[in-house]
Chain A
């Protein structure tokens, strides 16, 4: 059996017609039959949990996870109340819901669980769970779709589902509840007259179905923005279900796709589709949009007052407005001003605190997550102001540290540079590629590109210390795969250091803190 935590994925429509009125229209009946077939397939599967992402559950304050153990209510749809009521009693996997929330939080999302009697579970989730799991044989988890969230948050939300499944050793069937085209008729339509709203919607729906049938889920995910612009009524900022589904299912195109039914639901495109991970399919293509592992916060394009609040290396995203520190009598203050004051007051005392300690010191003075931002601003201000003294140095253009340490420290006539890897300081990406993917599967990477980037980062740090590579006296290099990489590394090294003739030690080690193959640390002569 495959060790993929997702057994298969389903894409199903949110409208209540297949549940409440399958007999009134042939297409609605076909959707119902497909729903019923999915129910049988779930029953026969080894699934421990059903995870539902519903586009009809919008949230605003982050993402929400339903963990009421047995939510029970009689639901009525806002538009289709005349089709009847939907009484339900579901069983939630509380343990999994909590784990999913935790996983989402660890990936930078704001997340919370809800467990309240009478919480209004949305039409899409009610329809899907009522039809797919009527006897509650398998516990479920329902996650909301944040109104403002875009691609990165949604991808990360999908990855967090995988994290939680792996952490709990569970197998899941995942369900994206969404229409294809979602343009409904704005007037009442007799059931027998239902059809897809327009020829354009029909064309696009057929295109999407073709992709699904070919198992090209990641390609669909990459097409989401086009789909949103072409056939979605603009209720929310983006068409997200393909992003969530692709991320939850591992972001590739190797699935067996089956379109089990497709029909109009009051003008919108309703489809029941199954995707099962497989070995052979169309395979991966080159993708337009980058992957994302951790959500680093809103870009806050609407905020202008606080100016540049982006920490270098993206350690701390810009502050959400609600996370601003408590106001003192002077009210909210720009971190830059606070740091100016700190600097004037403490001068080199502050400077002698490095990295995380520096952040903590500044953070204590202005409270909350501003600390991280403050640290980097302190760092920027200290650069170039203290070369005559011993102390810590943070290079504003170098990759951010992964712990509480500065990039460099001067002691007497020597500069000690912390071990540095190849991460690009602008965006944290690894030139030459990471050595493994998020699931720990090895990837093919370019050691020469990594070594080149590593030496460039050393040069940037030395420059912040008003030195350069020619000042280097001693080099220690760590490689995670000596056999594979020594030759490539040695070649690039020679290019830069042949003339300099520093002493050198090269070690093979088991792992480095990020998925990189090489790290170097140097001692240099202070200028």
Chain B
């Protein structure tokens, strides 16, 4: 069997606002648009993804939160309605997705062998979290590839950001090994924003772009600093800075997504492709990817 590989890693934030702004058939609420800088960037990354040959998407999401180890989706398919608990007015999405259970089990097994606490999620009534749905919809609106969702262990709350950063790296290395052993070509997705302090009120028209801006300047400065590290191919440096960044900007990196993905990809020292940055209800969001293939890697922004 040929050795499996990670063919792309995407940093794919999941504000439900982006799906809402797009008005896809699957989503019930209707909008007048909004957040185009991010949506256009996402659309461009989705086009790139269409040109890549891959078997499955593996996504780590902070909205499936587990305290007892890391869990993996373990049923063949899920079909239901996803309603965002924070923004139910924006996101009520009818999803119908397939899971690569074989790959999921392989990652669960190899991570377990590496000493990580794991569990397969086999309950068919389980509702897939809205982070998964949003990021996957924006990257692959056709839903024509199976996915695996990996839960976000709450070690950041239970212990500290430092512990999260270490454990997420161990999980990333185990997932890489599992992917290699599976013989599959896999796209990884870290589903989250950067700085994450939200406004606690909402504009009467949620897509009123005259009300949208970063929550505060220090969040912006931090976001730009870490985006520069991405552009410069200094991911080891970013991961080393992760505890400070996460604490100071209340970043959603706390769920371990980016750390996990970067560890799985061997801490890239090549530049990331940046597709767009914009605030959503005050939080800082960047759409970016890491393409290990030098031939197809582009300078986007």
Contacts and interface: CB of A to CB of B under 8 A. Distances in A.
Interface of A: 57-62, 74-76, 78-79, 81-82, 84-85, 110, 114, 116-120, 122, 146, 148, 183-188, 233-235, 266, 298, 302-305, 320-324, 326-327, 332
Contacts of A82: 119, 122-123
Contacts of A185: 68
A118 B282 CA distance: 27
Interface in B25-80: 64-69, 71, 80
Contacts of B64: 78
B119 A323 contact: no
Contact of A79 (B68, B89, B203): B68
Contacts of A324: 211
Given A76-B126, A78-B151, A116-B92, A266 B201 contact: no
Contacts of B125: 74-76, 85
Given A74-B125, A76-B125, A110-B200, A118 B92 contact: yes
Contacts of B199: 61, 320-322
Contact of B127 (A76, A326, A327): A76
Max count, chain B CB within 10 A of own CB: residue among A84, A110, A320, A321: A321
A60 B127 contact: no
Contacts of B86: 59-61
B151 A188 contact: no
B202 A322 contact: yes
B121 interface: yes
Contacts of A303: 216
8 closest A-B pairs by beta carbon, nearest first, are: A322-B199, A85-B125, A118-B81, A81-B123, A322-B201, A76-B126, A118-B83, A116-B88
Interface of B: 64-69, 71, 80-83, 85-89, 92, 117, 119, 121-123, 125-127, 151, 154-155, 157-158, 197-203, 210-211, 213, 215-218, 281-282
Nearest to B210: A326
Contacts of A62: 200-201
A320 B217 CA distance: 15
A120 B83 contact: yes
A445 B179 CA distance: 74
B119 A85 contact: no
A304 B220 CA distance: 14
A117 B92 CA distance: 9
17 contacts: A61-B87, A61-B198, A61-B201, A78-B65, A79-B67, A79-B71, A81-B71, A82-B119, A110-B201, A114-B88, A184-B68, A235-B157, A266-B68, A321-B199, A324-B211, A326-B211, A332-B213
Contacts of B69: 186-188
Nearest to B81: A118
Given A60-B198, A61-B87, 18 more contacts: A60-B86, A76-B125, A79-B67, A81-B126, A85-B123, A116-B88, A146-B200, A186-B69, A186-B155, A187-B69, A187-B117, A233-B157, A302-B215, A320-B201, A322-B201, A323-B201, A324-B211, A326-B211
A116 B91 CA distance: 10
B282 A321 contact: yes
A176 B151 CA distance: 28
A302 B200 CA distance: 13
A58 B123 CA distance: 24
Contacts of B281: 322
